[in-house]
Copies of this chain bind each other. A is one copy, B any other.
Amino acid sequence: MYSIILAGGSGTRLWPLSRAASPKFLHRLGGTDQSLLQATAARVADMSDPDRVYVVTGVAHAAAVARQLPHVPERNILVEPEPRDSLAAVALAAAVVAERDPEAVMAVYSADHLIGRQERFEELIGIAARAAETGVLVTVGIRPTRPETGFGYLHLADEVSPGVHRIVEFREKPDAETAAAYVASGEYLWNAGMFVFQARAFLAELERQRPELRAGIAAIAEAWDGPDQETVFGATWPHLEKISVDYGVMEGAAAAGLVTTVPADFPWSDIGDFHSLGESLDGDAAGNVVLTDAAVATLRSVQDSVVVSTTGRVVAVVGLRDVVVVDTEDALLVCPRERAHEVKQIVDVLKEQGHSAHV
């Protein structure tokens, strides 16, 4: 199996740690010494040999990606000339992989998600891969653990083979009431942006739904590995439709009955903000999640808090509960966990004020 890692997005809700120049996937946020990108690559290592691991990333982070993943061949690091959203990224990977291996089955992952229970993960991806061999597009949806309004949902239908269900449809981010009903019904999964399919099946569906984008990608793939690769890539890519893989292909494929899903019960988080980071990792005896490199963290009467530092400073927190403290070289954030999502507004204000280096 081929593993495609999408290493894009800046994750501004993890500001000041994560930002345009220093995106989420490059940071050690899993409580280990691996970045999220490295953890993602490690997660697929037993399923894909290094030459079957591909990363799609942007020009700003190509060097960092290459250095963080020394085992991934250079030709497998696909560097987009500019961001064109996830459909173009997945299509590029599918086309390049299909050029090299027309029978390829590929799994698509985000570089900045946390996933637990490795054995269960491999088991379910294996089920998805076998389902994909029949030519359907398979999503790996997550059993919801809360009525989250920040995710899209998949509406499950009947089981077509053990562990594999048909999908009625993709649902966009719901309001709180709808989300609660989804969770209560047991018929909905979170759309975690995790897909498994044959490269050629995906490209066929792309051809059916987005022929222009398919043509552009085909031109790029044809020139790939040849003398005109950069010229064709640079001339074609910026004109590709900018749309997500969900809206651009998966929803239409689901409507055509071409999508199935594998409901997954392993721990999963997209680490949407520092609050959810705290939810995703095991805390210490006081419930604190402390991620520090060289920093000396001194917590005194602190509970259920998230403390992150990338500096060598002493970080002293006293007498607080449910707070987030994030300490980086050029910016500092202090807020309650329940307002951690508001850092996006802070970033907007900083942008308006012209502090572009800090966002």
Contact = CB atoms under 8 A, between A and B. Distances in A.
A316 B16 contact: yes
B343 A316 contact: yes
A345 interface: yes
A338 to B, nearest CB: 8
A331 B343 CA distance: 22
A79 B314 CA distance: 32
Interface residues of A, number: 37
A43 to B, nearest CB: 33
A353 B296 CA distance: 10
Number of this chain's copies in the assembly equals 2
Most chain B Cβ neighbours within 10 Å, of A298, A329, A332, A343:
A332
Contacts of A314: 16, 330-332, 350, 355, 358
Interface string A296-313: 101011000000010011
B339 A316 contact: no
A329 to B, nearest CB: 8
A292 to B, nearest CB: 11
A349 B16 contact: no
Contacts of A300: 342, 345-346, 349
Given A331-B313, A345-B300, A339 B355 contact: no
Interface stretch (A67-75, A223-231, A278-286, A318-326): A318-326
12 contacts: A313-B329, A313-B330, A315-B332, A316-B332, A316-B334, A316-B343, A316-B346, A318-B334, A318-B339, A320-B334, A323-B334, A325-B332
A335 interface: yes
A349 B300 CA distance: 10
